[in-house]
Structure 1
Amino acid sequence: MRLAEACRYVRSKNAGPFWITVDLFFPDRAAYDRYVDAAALQPERIAALFGIAAEEVKRFPVPELQVLKISYPRQRPQGGALERDMHGGQQYVRLLDLEV
């Protein structure tokens, strides 16, 4: 199953000028429990997608809300001359086709 199918909603946003946070909203507790620890959502896989070191990827499971938050440093600070996604709102797209 692809992540886009496993989640009710996926979004990304700035977490300050140097970090991006991706929020994965699962439709229910059963889906959350099934996918929250999937290999595709581990720091090594996220790091490979975004070209960063795995030790810089942070995971924040929130079982009460059936959400997994994943944060990682931006490659360039927000608002830089080469910025292509000022608000970080398009960064989640790379995750949608991950097989979970």
Structure 2
Amino acid sequence: MSSARLLDLCSLVRSKNAGPFELTFDFVCHDEAGYRELRDSGLLTPELFANLFALNEDKVGFHAHDTALAIKVTIPRPTVQGALDDADCYGGQQYALVLDALDRERS
């Protein structure tokens, strides 16, 4: 599944701060069929996020919310929010790494 397909299934794909020490990623699907397809595809996994952000898998919080038709992933921020080396103070650009990784898998 490519990032284009992910964007077809989801009405919302975002990353944001979950406090100064964590980032959260939300993948909210248009409908139940799309959610089940995404959830069961194995596309979004703790392993993917661990590899992308150089983490141990046990540091990746991964939750499929059937009622909300959403997958939520939470990881430690690479640097504390607002630190001098923080290139994304609000965490709003980190989802692009996931989309890029999915595009690389497709090629």
TM-score, scaled to structure 1? 0.89
Q: Which runs of 5+ in 2 are unaligned?
A: none
Structure 1's 14 and 83: CA in aligned 2 closer, same or farther, altered over 3 A? same
Equivalent-residue separation in structure 1 for 2:43 and 2:84 (angstroms): 32
State which drifts further: 74-83 or 2-11: 2-11
| Aligned match of 2:77 | 74
Q: Unaligned stretches of 5+ in structure 1?
A: none
Match of 1:41 among 18, 39, 44: 44
SS of residue matched to 2:87: coil
Structure with the greater relative contact order (CA < 8 A, sep ≥ 6): 1 or 2? Answer: 1
**How much identity, in percent, do the aligned residues show?**
40
Q: What do the CA deviations read for 1:29-88 (whole angstroms, capped 9, x no partner)?
A: 011111114323111111101111111001121111111110000111111110100000
Matched, 1:22 2:25: yes
SS class of match (1:80): coil
- Provide the secondary structure at the position in 1 that maps to 2:13: strand
Detail structure 1 runs of 4+ shifted over 3 Å in the superposition.
Answer: none
- Count of residues in Structure 1 that have an aligned counterpart in Structure 2: 100
- Secondary structure of the corresponding residue to residue 43 of structure 2: helix
Amino acid at match of 2:68: L
- 2:70 is the counterpart of 1:90: no
Higher helix share: 2
Distance 1:37 1:55, change over 3 A: farther
Give yes or no for contact 1:20–1:72 (8 Å, CA) kept in 2.
Answer: yes
Residue 64 of structure 1 pairs with residue 67 of structure 2: yes
